[in-house]
Amino acid sequence: MLQCRVGAFIALLGALGSAVHGEDVRLYRADETPDPHEVARILNNGSRGLDAREFEDQTPRTRGFKLAAPATPSARSKVQSSGIQSGKTSPARDRSDAIALPIQFDFDSAELLPAARRQLDALAQGINLLDIERRVVIEGHTDGVGSDEYNLELSLRRAVAVRQYLVTVHGIHEARLQTLGLGKTRPLFDKNSPANRRVQFHGG
């Protein structure tokens, strides 16, 4: 049954690929610490007015999401990746509607590595600057190595691990954080590039 549902989800992604629009993604490098104020601005920009019923952990959904082109960055998926300058944010960066962090996990697992905490701590500060009613969607993404089913399951477990960290360490209410595993269906770069392994956030 699970394989049937995963297969249907993958087929739906393919069918929707030409019908959805691109998104602006602020991609942080592993050595960058997000500016909490920038995080808050982007999560507000990326609010897509989704109802909580459109999300259900362990069951991937697509409604309200924009699929990136399955190749190098293009007009469908604009990737911004530049250094942060002591509190200054460019107008272009303000137009981003999603944040992508190269969160580090143990190999082939959903266990967060200590190096991931610095970026997640800064992200949590940004979430806490938002209105208490604002929801945040956490998307897990993988590279193109491995089967579709495996990557969907792994990406969801990693998104859930990030949510658990934000809840237990920073006290963010669990109901505000929705999780989604998209596997390798939405690459920002060449499909086999390790840079596609990321956790992405946008307003819900």
Kindly report the CA angle at 76 between 24 and 83, in degrees rounded to 5? 35
Would you say 162 and 112 are in contact if contact means Cβ atoms under 8 Å apart?
yes
Banded model confidence at residue 126, pLDDT cuts 50, 70, 90:
very high
57 vs 106: CA distance, rounded Å: 22
Residues above pLDDT 70, as percent of the chain: 65
Q: Mapped to the 3 state alphabet, what secondary structure does 6-56 carry?
A: HHHHHHHHHHHCCCCCCEEEEECCCCCCCCHHHHHHHHHHCCCCCCHHHCE
Banded model confidence at residue 198, pLDDT cuts 50, 70, 90:
very high
Over residues 47-99, the pLDDT tens digits come to 544 333 333 443 333 333 333 333 444 334 566 654 333 334 444 445 789 99
Banded model confidence at residue 23, pLDDT cuts 50, 70, 90:
confident
What CA–CA distances, in Å, run from 67 to 70, 74, 174, 186, 187?
A: 9, 12, 26, 6, 9
Domains of the chain: 2-83+92-203 (3.30.1330.60)
* Closest C-alpha among 95, 45, 58, 97 to residue 178: 58
Over residues 143-189, the pLDDT tens digits come to 999 999 999 999 999 999 999 999 999 999 999 999 999 999 999 99
Kindly tell me if the per-residue pLDDT of 1 is higher than 70: no
117 vs 5, more confident? 117
Kindly tell me if the per-residue pLDDT of 192 is higher than 80: yes
- HSE at residue 200, side-chain half, CA atoms within 13 A, is 32
Specify the pTM. 0.72
User: For the residues of 73-86, what is the DSSP string, one character each?
Assistant: -BTTEEEE----BT
**Cβ-Cβ contacts under 8 Å for 31 (sequence gap 6 or more):** none
Q: What is the pLDDT of residue 61?
A: 36
Mean per-residue pLDDT over the chain, rounded: 77
Q: Which two tokens stand for residue 31?
A: 């050595």
